[in-house]
Amino acid sequence: MKIELERIHKTEDGRKDAIIDICNDHFYPNDIMDNIDRRIRPVVERRMMTMLLLRNFANNLSLADIGQVFRKDHATAMHAIKTMRNLIETDVRLQNQYISLKNKIIAEIGIEGERETIAEKKKRLEQKRKRLEQKRIQRDITIKGILVNIKEEIEDSPEADIKKIEKQIEECLSLS
């Protein structure tokens, strides 16, 4: 029961603070708010990782809100998030760090809905496009099959009707 009450408290208004606390615990003894103006690699990586986690797990925060946490503007936050996503794809150490922090956040405050990356969205949309293309091809095959069957069946009809119907069927076949 205590865990559920803590989770409710952390998910209502303090989601941002909870994520920052989790990051601080992970990077202990280094506080992500210390050396906020420093640009040395370890400090910047911690800051960028926290910005990415805030973006992914605190969906109600805008880029300006995320940047404001670190006294930066929205463009800096956007650049940090993009850079960290690229680094995570290539650097195993950062990938493991991200997974570890992600699991801690999910365990402690639950998941609000991780944002879909651009690559994931492109992949999902490409799969949807392929499914729709396959359905269209199948529909066209079905339509052509039906029209061919109708054309074969009307051969016993009067000559005037046959030419008229054949012309309409040929138009349908050429359109599909």
**CATH number for the domain that contains residue 53:** 1.10.1750.10
| Higher per-residue confidence, 137 vs 121 | 137
Domain boundary pick from 115, 132, 148? 115
Whether residue 2 is predicted with pLDDT greater than 50 in this model: the reply is: no
Both 83 and 162 in one domain: the answer is no
DSSP conformational letter for 117: P
Both 106 and 142 in one domain: the answer is no
Both 103 and 29 in one domain: the answer is yes
pLDDT band at residue 156 using 50, 70 and 90 as cut-offs: low
Question: What pLDDT is attached to residue 81?
Answer: 92
Question: What pLDDT is attached to residue 175?
Answer: 62
Whether residue 46 is predicted with pLDDT greater than 80 in this model: the reply is: yes
Expressed as residue numbers, the domain containing 145 is: 120-175
**117: which 2 tokens?**
């990356």
**Total domains present in the chain:** 2
User: In angstroms, rounded to a whole number, what is the distance separating the alpha carbons of residues 46 and 48?
Assistant: 6
Both 42 and 74 in one domain: the answer is yes
Whether this prediction's pTM lies above 0.95 is answered by no
**Rounded mean pLDDT of the chain?**
79
If one counts every other C-beta atom within 10 angstroms of the C-beta of residue 135, the result is 10
Residues in the chain: 176
Question: What pLDDT is attached to residue 113?
Answer: 53
| Contact of 117 with 85, CB cutoff 8 Å | yes
**Which of 2-11, 96-105, 124-133, 147-156 is predicted least confidently?**
2-11
Q: Span 127-155, mean pLDDT?
A: 81
| Higher per-residue confidence, 113 vs 65 | 65
Both 87 and 147 in one domain: the answer is no
Domain boundary pick from 68, 83, 115? 115
Both 64 and 142 in one domain: the answer is no
Both 8 and 83 in one domain: the answer is yes
Both 153 and 132 in one domain: the answer is yes
Both 69 and 126 in one domain: the answer is no
| Contact of 47 with 32, CB cutoff 8 Å | yes
Question: What pLDDT is attached to residue 77?
Answer: 92
| Contact of 126 with 77, CB cutoff 8 Å | no
Pick the closest to residue 49 from 107, 116, 102, 121 (CA basis). 102
Whether residue 92 is predicted with pLDDT greater than 60 in this model: the reply is: yes
